[in-house]
Amino acid sequence: MDCIFCKIIEGSIPSTKVYETETVLAFKDIQPAAPVHTLIIPKKHIPTMNDVTAEDGPVIAELFEAAREIAKQEGIDEAGYRLINNVNSDGGQVVYHLHIHLLGGEKLGALLP
Ligand code: 5GP
Ligand code: ZN
């Protein structure tokens, strides 16, 4: 399948992994927008949040579990961090394999005016 993140999961594209379970992988974003910027993805290819079904419930929960663990690992859980999921074109999604951005390590700017 022509999906960058599926290739990262199978190992044919290298990445800096920071967290991995049977169902979830997290790795550093190649173009970090903050001192900590990791991408958390399900190993199952789900294109966007619009494609999530009820049976994906457990894996969605695991993405958030991963976020908590990574924030702790990076030592930013107390200071705080931001989770972002871009959906489709207007949302700014570029890679069509579901992912949550975990951003932190500095005081982030306001997202809304
Ligand atoms: P989106 O805009 O789809 O929400 O975010 C896609 C993210 O994937 C971007 O922040 C981009 O920097 C990151 N990205 C794109 N290609 C690669 C890659 O090959 N490796 C890694 N580690 N990150 C990537
Ligand atoms: Zn994929």
Q: Set out the domains of the chain in order of their start, with CATH numbers.
A: 4-104 (3.30.428.10)
pLDDT of residue 113: 75
Task: For residue 5, give the ligand nearest its CA.
Answer: 2
Question: Can 45 be counted among the known catalytic residues?
Answer: no
User: In Å, what is the CA distance from 65 to each residue of 24, 31, 41?
Assistant: 10, 24, 12
Closest ligand 1 atom number to CA of residue 4: 19
CB of 85 closer than 6 A to ligand 1? no
Alpha-carbon distance 67 to 62, whole Å?
8
Span 91-113, pLDDT tens digits: 999 999 999 999 999 999 998 87
What ipTM was assigned to the predicted interfaces of this complex? Answer: 0.99
Q: What is the pLDDT of residue 112?
A: 80
Atom 13 of ligand 1, residue of closest alpha carbon: 29
Rounded-to-integer distance, Cα 113 and Cα 100, Å: 22
> For the chain, first and last CA: distance in Å?
39
4 lines ligand 1 (CB under 6 A): yes
Q: Dihedral, CA atoms, 96, 7, 103, 99, nearest 10 degrees?
A: 40
Reported as a single tens digit per residue, the pLDDT across 7-54 is: 999 999 999 999 999 999 999 999 999 999 999 999 999 999 999 999
